[in-house]
Structure 1
Amino acid sequence: MPLKTIVRSRVSPVWAAALLALALGGCAVGPTYQRPAAPDVSSFKEAEGWAPAAPADALERGPWWQLFGDPVLDELAARVEVSNQNVAAAVASYAQARTLVREQRAALFPTVSLDGGGTRSHSGGASSGSAGGRTGNSYQISLGGSWEPDVWGRLGRAVGSASASAQASAADLAAATLSAQGELASNYLSLRQTDAQKRLLESTLAGYQRSLEITQNRYAVGVAPKTDVLQAQTQLANAQADAAGLARQRAQLEHAIAVLVGQAPGNFTLAPADWQPVVPDVPIGLPSALLQRRPDIAGAERRVAAANEQIGIARSAYYPSVSLSASYGFSASRVADLFSASSSVWAMGLSAAQALFNAGATTARVEGSQAAHAQAVARYRQTVLAAFQDVEDQLAATRVLLAQQALRRQASEAADQVEQQVLNRYRSGQVSYTEVITAQATALSARRALVQALADRQSTAVALIQSLGGGWQAAVPAPAP
């Protein structure tokens, strides 16, 4: 049952209660926030022997995609923050979270209202015109205010929870932006690698066309069998089909890039250009820096802080809520007398309410908020672990792909020599055309594998930069109000 006390006739008890409420304003209930413990990792296991040539602060000097040295990529990546719709949604979500902070902070201040009205009433008869009845008018206007002192810290914790949620939303915005920029960079570099693959196939197709002409000439003079011509035609047709497949792949990448920069695919075109197989050296820093560099980790930590505030809000229900009110106005039967001194009316009051029995609802809410906090802590730690795994995976991939590229280059150079030697031997009639087909297919596969190895290194560099949080840095949390 709520317990209320109204004081109107005497002022001193009200002010005494107000002073008491202010004195108790620092008695906030609930746990003090402690940042959850994260795994203690002194170094990345896969970074052993890692010695990038780039300066350690390369990612803080500007947009990270500039490390790839492609002006078209620079222009497209800059458009992501402005035109990408996922980023736009995250921006709106952050703006909404900030308005919630202002809304919660407004509850710390008094509310002032102006009321006015007029009534006409009749009493003493069956109708308004009956004998003995009385008809009268009443007008009133008043200025009132109410204030709920934050005795137990509930309102302050609500502001703190909203502020932490807004900071988490800011981290979500950074994560969405980084994700979109990383996806754009990967798609763009894949598109340029596809252009390189197409040029490689075009050059190979020209060689296959010459081989077909050779076999046709040899068949025409009776030196080569019909099967040689058929094999050459089959090889040429398969290579042409591969080229068509690359055209399809390029179109899909171009469409994806258009959407990422906020354009309809039908209005967006990227002309073919030379591929710059630049693989930047990425400074990785210490594992402890990852907790500040990754926006998803920062967002998860801020959600823990918001959940911690909710525990205090729930616990404040164990204590009575106090509110102060005051009003001053005028009341009269005629408008002309409304603002006379004799018509003034004032009132001041103090009310306190305490739930005496609610069948354990308050305890249930406290335990629920504690469980939500434990859930947020677990998600934070899982996010940290996943981040460490992501970095370790990309470091391992970077090291392995570097070794693979050297081997792919050796294989491609050797396959090119074998192809040329077998083709010369075929022209002199020393080997069958089947050996030529095998050598040419092996050489083409080796060339394409080398291009793919370079592309994989670029994609891994993008993924490593993303796993390290790009150039983003977590803001220092604002102190609780």
Structure 2
Amino acid sequence: MNKLHMKRWLGLPGLMAALLVVAGCSLAPTYEKPDVHAPSAYKETPQRTSDTSALAPSETGTWKTAQPSEEMMRGEWWTLFDDPALKDLERQAQEANQNLKAAAARVKEARAISQTARAGLFPTLDAGFGPTREKFSPASQFLPADANVPAQTLWRAQASASYEVDLFGRVSDSVKAASADTQQGEALFRSVQLALQADVAQNYFNLRELDAENDVFTRTVTLREQALKLVQRRFDEGDISELDVARAKSELATARSDAMTVQRLRASSEHSLAVLLGKTPAEFSVAANPLKPVTVRVPPGLPSTLLERRPDIAAAERSMAAANARIGVAKAAFFPSLTLTGAGGFESATLGDLFKWSSRTFLLGPFAGTALNIPIFDGGRRKGNLANARAIYEEDAANYRQQVLVAFREVEDNLSDLRILEDQTATQSDAVKASVRAAQLSRTQYTEGAVNYLDVIDAERTVLQSQRTSVQLAGTQAVSTVNLIRALGGGWGDAMPAPVPEPSLAQK
């Protein structure tokens, strides 16, 4: 062997060793979550819960660097309302809602893509069998141009293998990105699930609020009918003019019309609830049941725990992690790639001789064995891909920060709503009592002839309006409680991680 060949053989192992050293080394930037400056406490926390030292650890959380715990079991938080009908509706929604099934299918898609990316860490093996008909040219066999080279049939049975060495972490970063996408899909599933649970509860309480309003109108119509009978009797006795009778009839008809408006709204709310349960409105109905005041009080905990609990925040963070890994993939395109391939098997001119030991064959070399590709010029394609990957990461980072800000705002909104509603409902209760008393006095004075019928009408209208407002405030309080639970990321408490339901759910 001459010195030139010796140098080539000695240099090849050194090159291979150098390439294997960088195999698996990621070029992606070190991933760090953006600092979102979580406040130490919520601005709108009620005074009685602002002192977190009086609350249990499960209620307040602990101040620490946020770690994603969106997989934490949320529990059946709606059981806090102690309403069997609501529990049954939530169960039906979990089983049949189509949006939830679609979200489960998206999780299945993400897992399949992740599996495809992970396959790049392993070699691919293929096997084949069959004949080929071929004819060599005289020139390829070093024969005269007019020589006759007969065609021949060759039988082959061989296996081939191919493996891309993970130089500069291209494959591993692709796997990391796909894995983060899967985690994002799972977090989005939990976000859809939480939204569904909250929508069912909100629609349910809205339905109960309309039932309570309808109950108010039912009682109001009854009172209006009694008032009309009284006015009609006094008119028949000649004590009053027909004007009071007309006014009493107008008030009765107006009350009945307003009651029909509530019934129409209730029907629409019931139809919306049916769709959430995966049913047609024709096959779903809910018996009337006026809303009872909701007394559940939800401890908001510390703002830092919100970053761990909200599934939509977790999804935004995982999207950012995937984008960061894809920067590494884009960088790796600037460096050489190494693919090892080979084939081996049997080859013969007849099928009977195919599997004889003398028919064995293999193929290794520059074309099928080792291919080290070094990029030289591509018109700026790789540079553009890298710039695009970095821009996507910056976009996802901004979206993550914005999602955190929105989450804090939603919690503060609902905390302020509940804090103010507590005082407002108490004040409105006093207004209802006062208006009822005023209506009683006006009816008594009207019977005695001390006031005219307009005073009675005005007092009764005030009673109806104050009662409706009281019912609507109770409904708003119930919905705001649900909204606060949703804004906080669902139920709370120590629990083992809950797996995302198998995607087969989407096929049922």
TM-score, normalised by the number of residues in structure 2: 0.86
Pair 1:187-2:203 in alignment: yes
- Cross-structure match for 1:397: 417
Which residue of 466, 478, 496 maps to 1:446?
A: 466
Please list, as runs of the form range in 1=range in 2, the aligned pairs for 1:15-26 lying within 5 A after superposition. 20-26=18-24
Pair 1:80-2:93 in alignment: yes
The one-letter code matched in structure 1 to 2:440 is Q
TM-aligned CA deviation for residue 144 of structure 1: 1.0
TM-aligned CA deviation for residue 124 of structure 1: 9.2
Kept in 2, the 8 Å contact 1:293–1:471? The answer is no
Name the CA shift for 1:220/1:110 in 2 (closer, same or farther; >3 Å). same
TM-aligned CA deviation for residue 201 of structure 1: 1.1
Q: Tell me whether 115-124 or 357-366 shows the greater mean CA deviation.
A: 115-124
Which residue of 453, 459, 465 maps to 2:485?
A: 465
Secondary structure, in 3 states, of the residue corresponding to 2:36?
coil
Kept in 2, the 8 Å contact 1:101–1:159? The answer is yes
Please list, as runs of the form range in 1=range in 2, the aligned pairs for 1:286-325 lying within 5 A after superposition. 286-325=302-341
TM-aligned CA deviation for residue 18 of structure 1: 5.9
Name the CA shift for 1:57/1:258 in 2 (closer, same or farther; >3 Å). farther
Which residue of 25, 28, 34 maps to 1:27?
A: 25
Name the CA shift for 1:73/1:14 in 2 (closer, same or farther; >3 Å). farther
- Cross-structure match for 1:4: none
The one-letter code matched in structure 2 to 1:275 is L
Query: CA separation in 1, counterparts of 2:136 and 2:57?
Result: 88
Name the CA shift for 1:135/1:445 in 2 (closer, same or farther; >3 Å). closer
RMSD of aligned residue pairs (Cα, Å): 2.5
Please list, as runs of the form range in 1=range in 2, the aligned pairs for 1:153-168 lying within 5 A after superposition. 153-168=169-184
The one-letter code matched in structure 2 to 1:255 is H
TM-aligned CA deviation for residue 145 of structure 1: 0.2
Secondary structure, in 3 states, of the residue corresponding to 1:107?
helix
Kept in 2, the 8 Å contact 1:186–1:462? The answer is yes
TM-aligned CA deviation for residue 121 of structure 1: 4.6
Query: CA separation in 2, counterparts of 1:116 and 1:27?
Result: 39
Query: CA separation in 1, counterparts of 2:156 and 2:218?
Result: 91
TM-aligned CA deviation for residue 60 of structure 1: 6.8
Please list, as runs of the form range in 1=range in 2, the aligned pairs for 1:361-372 lying within 5 A after superposition. 361-372=381-392
Query: CA separation in 2, counterparts of 1:55 and 1:197?
Result: 38
Query: CA separation in 1, counterparts of 2:96 and 2:419?
Result: 35
Secondary structure, in 3 states, of the residue corresponding to 2:155?
strand
Q: Tell me whether 257-266 or 131-140 shows the greater mean CA deviation.
A: 131-140
TM-aligned CA deviation for residue 50 of structure 1: 4.0
Pair 1:152-2:168 in alignment: yes
TM-aligned CA deviation for residue 28 of structure 1: 1.8
TM-aligned CA deviation for residue 440 of structure 1: 0.5
Secondary structure, in 3 states, of the residue corresponding to 1:364?
helix
The one-letter code matched in structure 2 to 1:389 is R
The one-letter code matched in structure 2 to 1:64 is W
Query: CA separation in 1, counterparts of 2:375 and 2:448?
Result: 103
- Cross-structure match for 2:35: 37
TM-aligned CA deviation for residue 347 of structure 1: 2.6
Kept in 2, the 8 Å contact 1:91–1:173? The answer is yes
Secondary structure, in 3 states, of the residue corresponding to 1:26?
coil
Name the CA shift for 1:13/1:98 in 2 (closer, same or farther; >3 Å). farther
Query: CA separation in 1, counterparts of 2:197 and 2:454?
Result: 47
- Cross-structure match for 1:7: none
Name the CA shift for 1:410/1:123 in 2 (closer, same or farther; >3 Å). closer
Which residue of 97, 107, 115 maps to 2:128?
A: 115
Kept in 2, the 8 Å contact 1:80–1:261? The answer is yes
Query: CA separation in 1, counterparts of 2:465 and 2:357?
Result: 100
- Cross-structure match for 1:407: 427
TM-aligned CA deviation for residue 134 of structure 1: 3.0
CA deviations 1:285-320 (Å, max 9, x no partner) are 100000011111110000000000110000001101
Name the CA shift for 1:467/1:121 in 2 (closer, same or farther; >3 Å). closer
Kept in 2, the 8 Å contact 1:104–1:159? The answer is yes
Kept in 1, the 8 Å contact 2:313–2:403? The answer is yes
Which residue of 163, 169, 186 maps to 1:170?
A: 186
Query: CA separation in 2, counterparts of 1:276 and 1:373?
Result: 49
Structure 1: 5+ residue stretches without partners: 1-9, 126-130, 477-481
Kept in 2, the 8 Å contact 1:14–1:350? The answer is no
TM-aligned CA deviation for residue 139 of structure 1: 1.4
Q: Tell me whether 165-174 or 132-141 shows the greater mean CA deviation.
A: 132-141
TM-aligned CA deviation for residue 140 of structure 1: 1.6
- Cross-structure match for 1:388: 408
Name the CA shift for 1:123/1:250 in 2 (closer, same or farther; >3 Å). closer
Secondary structure, in 3 states, of the residue corresponding to 1:424?
helix
TM-aligned CA deviation for residue 22 of structure 1: 3.6
Please list, as runs of the form range in 1=range in 2, the aligned pairs for 1:59-458 lying within 5 A after superposition. 62-121=75-134, 134-348=150-364, 349-458=369-478
Query: CA separation in 1, counterparts of 2:80 and 2:287?
Result: 22
The one-letter code matched in structure 2 to 1:177 is Q
TM-aligned CA deviation for residue 231 of structure 1: 0.6
The one-letter code matched in structure 1 to 2:28 is G
The one-letter code matched in structure 1 to 2:232 is Q
TM-aligned CA deviation for residue 275 of structure 1: 2.7
TM-aligned CA deviation for residue 11 of structure 1: 11
The one-letter code matched in structure 2 to 1:337 is D
Secondary structure, in 3 states, of the residue corresponding to 2:49?
coil
Kept in 2, the 8 Å contact 1:294–1:468? The answer is yes
Secondary structure, in 3 states, of the residue corresponding to 1:223?
coil
Query: CA separation in 2, counterparts of 1:371 and 1:132?
Result: 63
Query: CA separation in 1, counterparts of 2:400 and 2:178?
Result: 18
CA deviations 1:247-289 (Å, max 9, x no partner) are 1011011101100010011011111124332231101110000
The one-letter code matched in structure 2 to 1:460 is S
The one-letter code matched in structure 2 to 1:353 is N
The one-letter code matched in structure 1 to 2:425 is Q
The one-letter code matched in structure 2 to 1:342 is S
The one-letter code matched in structure 2 to 1:164 is A
TM-aligned CA deviation for residue 415 of structure 1: 0.4
Secondary structure, in 3 states, of the residue corresponding to 1:403?
helix
Kept in 1, the 8 Å contact 2:89–2:277? The answer is yes
Q: How many residues align?
A: 462
Query: CA separation in 2, counterparts of 1:321 and 1:436?
Result: 91
Structure 2: 5+ residue stretches without partners: 1-7, 60-71, 139-146, 499-508
TM-aligned CA deviation for residue 194 of structure 1: 1.1
Query: CA separation in 1, counterparts of 2:170 and 2:299?
Result: 45
Name the CA shift for 1:48/1:327 in 2 (closer, same or farther; >3 Å). same
Kept in 2, the 8 Å contact 1:161–1:307? The answer is yes
Query: CA separation in 1, counterparts of 2:260 and 2:194?
Result: 33
Between the aligned residues of both structures, percent identity stands at: 36
TM-aligned CA deviation for residue 363 of structure 1: 1.3
Name the CA shift for 1:163/1:201 in 2 (closer, same or farther; >3 Å). same
